[in-house]
């Protein structure tokens, strides 16, 4: 009887060990994604966000250092638009019916922090969740130029900006997930309009951050994970 009990305990121990090893599969470290949504601009020709909304879209690469921390590199495109203004002596700027629009390409790198330990659901670690809100910030550069309402113009300006925002991640499959993000970009200058009568009109560039132009976008995207982390070496890590 004792011998049978030992065999049963041994089999149970082997089963538990096998299940644990299956549960501790190494996570994916890299991610590619695409997103699309609505973009906006705030400046001398637009007083608030979503005043003249336009399409926005992009692609990103994300590398996950831990369950909490990641870094994201992204390329995004959008249009910004506003009304023409004519400055009348003694009156000031008078809005015209004609409108302008610029093409913008933004390239940025941002650090991300997840509020929850993010990853595939794991019954052996209840702290890991397949969803999490997150925040991010970083640095970027915008390439833009006047397209105009008659076409033409091309990209002829480059300006740095400070991107930051909030988002939500949901992993509904082992390698596939959904991202929702609201990103806000504060540029280092007041010339996104790329028009002489609107760029740096108050001559405050270089020291007054309250005069900087802003852009932003609200997007939803699909992501695909790849590149598994190496399995831990228990012998190497043993004390």
Tell me the per-residue pLDDT of 137-193, one tens digit each, with 9 for 90 and over: 999 999 887 654 344 456 778 889 999 999 999 998 888 999 999 999 999 877 777
Cα–Cα distance, 69 to 77 (Å, whole number): 26
Tell me the per-residue pLDDT of 202-229, one tens digit each, with 9 for 90 and over: 554 544 556 688 899 999 999 999 988 7
Q: Which CATH number fits domain 26-227: 3.40.50.720, 3.30.1370.160, 2.40.160.20, 2.40.390.10?
A: 2.40.160.20
Cα 130 to Cα 83, 118, 127, 180, 182: the distances in Å are 44, 6, 10, 14, 20
Token pair of 5 as six digits: 């009990």
Which residue ranges make up each domain of the chain? Answer: 26-227
């Amino acid at each position: 009887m004792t011998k049978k009990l030992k065999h049963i305990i041994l089999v149970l121990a082997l089963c538990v060990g096998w299940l644990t090893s299956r549960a501790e599969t190494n996570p994916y470290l890299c991610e590619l994604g695409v997103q699309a949504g609505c973009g906006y601009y705030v400046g001398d020709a637009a007083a608030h966000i979503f005043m003249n909304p336009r399409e926005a879209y992009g692609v990103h690469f994300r590398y996950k250092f831990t369950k909490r921390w990641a870094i994201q590199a992204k390329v995004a495109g959008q249009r910004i638009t506003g009304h023409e203004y004519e400055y009348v002596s003694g009156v000031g700027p008078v809005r015209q019916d004609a409108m302008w629009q610029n093409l913008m390409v933004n390239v940025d790198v941002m650090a991300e922090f997840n509020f929850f330990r993010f990853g595939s659901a794991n019954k052996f670690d209840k702290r890991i969740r397949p969803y999490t809100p997150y925040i991010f910030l970083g640095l970027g550069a915008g390439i833009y130029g006047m397209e105009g309402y008659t076409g033409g113009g091309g990209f002829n300006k480059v300006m740095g900006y400070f991107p930051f925002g909030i988002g939500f991640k949901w992993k509904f499959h082992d390698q596939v997930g959904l991202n929702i993000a609201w990103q806000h970009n504060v540029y280092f200058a007041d010339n996104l309009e790329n028009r002489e009568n609107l760029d740096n009109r108050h001559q405050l560039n270089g020291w007054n951050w309250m005069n900087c132009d802003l852009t932003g976008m609200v997007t939803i995207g699909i992501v695909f994970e790849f590149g598994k982390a190496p399995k831990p070496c228990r012998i190497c890590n043993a004390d």
